[in-house]
Structure 1
């Protein structure tokens, strides 16, 4: 159970109800963190704009890699809620089961490219508190990605920095669909 109660949908304006309904359709379930955030609609709307910008359809970084970046960042930060969501989202973006299962061996697994390793190395280092991002990590990153792509990667990491804190502080309850994915691929 979360540390605060989620909003009651019928108490929200019709605009907010419509937004949450769209979120539910896109994700396949109603995310509990959105129901907590909806206590402050302006915060939820601003956050929604950030999510849309990070997951822009015109992205130069694949949706699967962005979900894996979020997953590794969230693991480094210790946020099980976000690990569950990003693993679920990666599966919804057609990641191969074997690749998801090999995530923690990304440094040596042949399922991961050198570019993916560089991005995930950054995600792991940046997800720690304090962040430890060495020059070596950035040198490797620069050999695989443009400045624009690096900004996308860091924006994804930063988005999950917010979400990791939000959900850890509130101890947001993990919904059944993402929890099943988390339990299957990354049992505690």
Structure 2
């Protein structure tokens, strides 16, 4: 048995999941709903809860991008997060969204493949084109142009899909940077999900 030290979930103060009474009612209710659904509270909720207005804005935009119906299915949306988060070296998002990707894709290997090198992953040509564009947005959005839109449209993506791919990559670029600054730790539960 090893003596692994207990480490804080963040370099900044975070909400205590055992005492949500200090939080605004809507935020406490959101955290309790997530805990009921997942069986645990993802650390990102506790980390952002320290700033209620930012919590609300962050999760409202997250939900608008990740939970909407459309031509991109939920697993493909998670692929974008995992690929761009790996490029941004965001351990929290790679682990947390990798777990969600495994569950949504019903594939225990896909998240590791995409995080390691999406170009070699077992994905379709359409998905590879989607990730090529997401990576371009993540690393060099100033270099994007009409040819990128045309390339995606040749794979059946609509203009709205292109917007969604770009928005997810951009949003998680911000999220990755904040998670890295916070030294946000992934919950242990994420590592085994979907395996």
TM range (shorter): 0.7 to 0.9
Shift of 1:101: 4.3
Q: How does 1:1-188 map to 2 (within 5 A)?
A: 1=8, 2-8=10-16, 9-103=20-114, 104-109=116-121, 111-128=122-139, 130-131=140-141, 133-135=143-145, 137-144=148-155, 145-180=157-192
Structure 1's unaligned 5+ residue stretches are none
Using the size of structure 2 for normalisation, the TM-score is 0.80
Q: Write the distance in 1 (CA, Å) between the matches of 2:144 and 2:152.
A: 11
Higher mean alpha-carbon deviation, 40-49 vs 71-80, is at 40-49
Query: What is the root-mean-square deviation of aligned Cα atoms in Å?
Result: 2.5
Q: Write the distance in 1 (CA, Å) between the matches of 2:15 and 2:120.
A: 44
Shift of 1:159: 1.9
Q: Answer whether contact 2:49 2:55 (CA < 8 A) is retained.
A: yes
Count matched residues: 181
Using the size of structure 1 for normalisation, the TM-score is 0.83
Q: Write the distance in 1 (CA, Å) between the matches of 2:104 and 2:163.
A: 22
Structure 2's unaligned 5+ residue stretches are 1-7
